[in-house]
Chains A and B, each alone.
Chain A
Amino acid sequence: MGKRAHGQTLGVAVMSAIESEGVVLGGLPEAQLPAAPLRPRRAVVRGAAHRIAGVVFIVCLLVFMIGPIAWLALRAFSGLWQYPQLYPKDWTLSGWRQVFNDPNLRHSMRLSFEFAPIVTAASTVICLPAAYAFSRYRFPGRRFLLISLFATNAFPKIGLYISMAGVFYSLNLMGTFLGVVIVQLIGTVVFMTWIPAAAFSAIPRSLEEAARDVGAGPLRVFFRVTFPLAAPAILVAMILSFLASFDEAQGTFLVGVPNYITMPTEMYTLVLNYPEQVAAVFSILLAIPSVVLMAFARKHVMGGRLAEGFQLR
């Protein structure tokens, strides 16, 4: 659930950029220059007090951000570990064996890896044209639709399951592969439209027009000019979709029973019910794809690529 909300927020953020671009960039053509970080300035951390405060802040941040994950990772390999020992006294891989020998868990892991990319692809295919339309055409109700795409997602899902179940049954989607794809797709729509829409808006029309002037057809213009320029933002949106789909638990359970039960659903059971080790092992396994994604995407998500989506026309 959580990751989806982050996606929404990002999408909204981009949208705000659509609307606020004037104030950020107003009268500042230099803003289009890549915003490289400044040279280090010794003045920033002048004085020992400052430096100590900085170090304390950084240490606290490290413990706060990484501590829980590291502590959990230790658990995955620990045997008996009683309070108040600082680290486990004996080490074991039994938790790992237990996870890999459970056919249900293996199956749900495979399912998760199947659904997430498919949902991402489907969402991209459905939403990109819409994103393009939102950025290029001023049709009546445009802003209303954009905002309601987000607003409907702000309704707590738990209040909707019964009516959602009714809809899925009426359309014969319950328990089907397609049904699960749809229920996960719902959570990805917002940022798959908003982030690319912002990116498309960032591309000057003059570029497209120039391409058309030299005789390129509209499709060719889109794929040779518009799409490559918007690709970084689209990639970010796709990564967020992937994570949202990967993280979806209860909606998937609602629609997917009995054949499609994915990892996050199993995770609830594990976390609350199993020996701590097994839960820790499973957590690590679940985190692996995300970490791989992060290694791959960090440069784009962090390195100003997202910010690029903000610099709009």
Chain B
Amino acid sequence: MKRKHLGAIVVVGLAVVLAAVAATSQAATTRQAKTVTINLYASGDVNVQSLWQQYLIPGFEKQNKGIKVKLIFSEHGVNDTPTLARIGAAVKQRKWPGIDLVDAGLVTTLATDGLTQPVKKATAPNIGNVDKKLLTPVHGAAIPYRGSSVVLAYDSNNVAAPPKTLSALLQWIRAHPGKFTYNSPNTGGSGYSFAETVVDSFMTQNVLTQMQQGYAPQLESNWKQGFDLLHSLNQYVYQGVYPNGNQAVLDLLAKGQIWVAPVWSDQALTALKTKQLPASIHLTQIASPSFTGGAAYLGVLKTARNKVDVYKFVNYILSPAAQTQIINVMSGFPAIPLKLMPKAIQNKFADVSANSLRPTYAQKQQSDFKAQWQQTVP
């Protein structure tokens, strides 16, 4: 009796589900959209998500009726493997990857591997305004859309005189065990920048230039001294564990667990504005060498759909109005020349702009650097 009953449950359940399949697949066909949709894949920290979701996309959609932008957001790196696999396979087979525009660390890899549209072919007028120097590391196949730099954050309640140079910083770290940390380079750019800055301080300008402009694996032996120094810092770093991601470092600063750390200026300024960081946290830049900074890139995929509309979107992002928004929301730097920006912004950045920041290595060099850090430091 009982068993028959159960059998009936299974059968009825199956029938209901199959009916649901039929219903949804029908609904899917009737629900065809008439507007053009641009699919944007973005990965990064939460401030990147809100920049797109709350500002750039609504702003663009308001001006361009009939074009919708769909944001596919992924926490730093978690979905980059499937995404790269997908894009690689799609472009290879000349198919649409389901994604048109990418804003992620991934873009530089895509550009280097020839999966994105060269900027030369871009039809949007504002793209002509971006700094040509920023195109070198990505072989002219990705569009810089905002700049940011890594700065030193410190808790002014506990640190009266922050270190002004790299060597002073290293001294401070040794003098205050457990009060400094940086995230592991493969989980975020702020920790990466600190590690690269330390390693760079041991290298000649010539070697540095080669690594910034191309891939020079034969020169990697020059990293040894820097990595040794980083390794020797393990005992002074907070709990001897490197946090995962830029945000995790900010959290430690906010909770007062550490006093000094490298952070992205845009992220820290935003966190200060939203009170996620207490006002006692101050930001400063160090010298000789300074922390690296750089641009965030957009990549238009070779097999993107509706490229005309995608470029329309990119054009909007590079317009002075949108750039002003990026600066205000993200506290980033503009990607177009200051003279095109409103007066107030020009004054704000009187002595700094995206392209005067110290550049980082080219993409492949960075991958090797992260691998070797993982191998030698923790």
Q: Interface on A for B, CB 8 Å cutoff?
A: 114, 117-118, 120-122, 124-125, 158, 161-162, 164-166, 168-170, 174-175, 177, 227-229, 231-232, 234-235, 238, 250-251, 253-254, 257-259, 261, 265, 268-269, 272-274
Contacts and interface: CB of A to CB of B under 8 A. Distances in A.
B17 A117 contact: yes
B51 interface: no
A125 B81 contact: no
A253 B20 contact: no
B99 A257 contact: yes
Nearest to B15: A121
B261 to A, nearest CB: 18
A97 to B, nearest CB: 17
B98 interface: yes
A170 B72 contact: no
B79 A253 contact: yes
A114 B78 CA distance: 24
Most buried by B among A121, A125, A177, A227: A121
A258 B72 contact: yes
Contact of A231 (B10, B28, B88): B10
A257 B41 contact: yes
Contacts of B73: 269
A165 B95 CA distance: 12
A253 B7 CA distance: 35
A101 to B, nearest CB: 12
B89 A121 contact: no
Contacts of B72: 257-258, 261
B83 interface: yes
B45 A229 contact: no
A1 to B, nearest CB: 13
Contacts of B9: 231, 235
B98 A174 contact: yes
Most buried by A among B45, B70, B89, B93: B89
A174 B95 contact: yes
A238 B13 contact: yes
B75 A273 contact: yes
Given A121-B14, A174-B90, A161 B6 contact: no
B10 A118 contact: no
B85 A272 contact: no
Contacts of A122: 21
Contact of A161 (B3, B81, B245): B81
Most buried by A among B6, B45, B84, B92: B6
A258 B82 contact: no
A138 B6 CA distance: 29
Contacts of B82: 161, 165, 250-251, 253-254, 257
A121 B17 contact: yes
Contacts of A117: 17, 20
Contacts of A169: 89-90, 93, 95
What does DSSP make chain B's interface, helix, strand, loop or mixed? helix
Interface in B89-139: 89-90, 92-93, 95, 97-99
23 contacts: A118-B17, A118-B21, A121-B13, A165-B82, A165-B90, A229-B3, A231-B9, A231-B10, A232-B6, A238-B10, A238-B13, A253-B74, A254-B82, A257-B97, A258-B39, A258-B99, A259-B98, A265-B79, A269-B78, A272-B76, A272-B245, A272-B247, A273-B75
B247 to A, nearest CB: 7
A234 B90 CA distance: 38
B115 to A, nearest CB: 13
Given A169-B95, A257-B83, 20 more contacts: A114-B20, A117-B17, A125-B14, A161-B81, A165-B86, A175-B98, A177-B25, A177-B28, A231-B3, A232-B3, A232-B6, A234-B10, A235-B10, A253-B82, A254-B83, A257-B98, A269-B75, A272-B78, A272-B244, A273-B45
A158 B39 CA distance: 24
A231 B6 CA distance: 6
Nearest to B88: A162
A174 B87 CA distance: 11
Nearest to A168: B89
A158 B89 contact: no
B6 A121 contact: no
Contact of A124 (B14, B24, B83, B90): B14
B46 interface: yes
Contacts of B84: 162
Interface in B196-243: none
A198 to B, nearest CB: 16
Contacts of A121: 13-14, 17-18, 21
Contacts of B93: 166, 169-170
Nearest to A261: B72
Most buried by A among B3, B17, B70, B84: B17
Contacts of A161: 81-82, 85-86
Interface in B138-184: none
A174 B49 CA distance: 25
B65 interface: no
Contacts of B98: 174-175, 257-259
B4 interface: yes
Given A250-B79, A261-B72, A268-B75, A166 B17 contact: no
A270 B28 CA distance: 28
Most buried by B among A162, A231, A251, A273: A273
A39 B99 CA distance: 63
Interface string B1-35: 00110110110011001101100110010000000
Contacts of B97: 174, 257
Given A250-B79, A273-B45, A257 B25 contact: no
Contacts of A174: 86, 90, 95, 97-98
A36 to B, nearest CB: 16
A278 B85 CA distance: 30
A311 to B, nearest CB: 14
Given A114-B20, A258-B39, A165 B81 contact: no
Contacts of B89: 162, 165-166, 168-169
Nearest to A260: B98
A225 to B, nearest CB: 10
B78 A268 contact: yes
